[in-house]
Amino acid sequence: MTNILDKISYLLKLIKNGELKFLWTGISRRLYSERVSFGLKKDLNKDWPDPPTLLKLSFRLYQDSDAPHFELDKNNHGIMDMDIEQCYVATKDDIPVYRVWLMDSSQNDKIKKFWGDSFPPLQKGEALVENSYTVPKFRGFGIMPYAMAKIAEKGKEFGVETAIIYTEIDHIVSLRAGDYAGYVPFNVRKEKWFLFNKKVSFEDTIPQDLMDHYKKVTARRPRKKKTK
């Protein structure tokens, strides 16, 4: 009952703040939509070069005092109430600029409670990297791929060998970030909404047209040679 009242309160807050476009996008998606995502994984036992970034970053666990920096992350309202462990932030000069969760199999029940069937249960040695969010004024500095790589490495401290992310096929920035960070495609997730009911399926074999799409959008552009 408390959860329902919280959702109603949040909806009223969105309306009061004029977030009608955001609200309608969420409702229309649940009325009818189809989304396809790549599942990407990274073998943490292999050495990967760090992606380039324009900022010097430090990493630590999330603190309650960080909340004001992530108020614009509306897509996952209520996630902090789930008390999901291993939420990390990247900071620049002690200012939080990025947030993401690194969740191992011990968090399976909480993951399912918050995201439903959007993710298959994690096996021992696996961790899900999810809810990646960069504070808007710090976007464009290469934070996400660098942070996704460095934070995933922290999973080795509690037995993680494989880090996993899911990214929609048309979210080019996230696909490139994952690729830069050393993640490679391993499956496909299909989500269908119809009249507020969601159906999720996974395919271990990635269709060739999707692999061609992935290779195209993540292809490195050759650097231009300097002219003398």
Give the whole-angstrom CA distance, residue 145 versus residue 178: 6
4-20 as b/e: b if 16+ CB within 10 A: eeeeeeeeeebeeeeee
Domains and CATH numbers, the chain: 33-218 (3.40.630.30)
First to last CA, the chain: 70
Note the pLDDT tens digit of each residue in 175-194: 999 999 999 999 999 988 87
Helix (H, G, I), strand (E, B) or coil at 73: coil
Q: What pTM was computed for the model?
A: 0.81
Note the pLDDT tens digit of each residue in 4-59: 445 445 444 545 555 555 555 666 667 767 899 999 999 999 988 899 999 999 99
Helix (H, G, I), strand (E, B) or coil at 173: helix
Please answer whether residues 88 and 151 qualify as being in contact, where contact means their C-beta atoms are separated by less than 8 angstroms.
Answer: yes
> And the tokens for 217?
């959008």
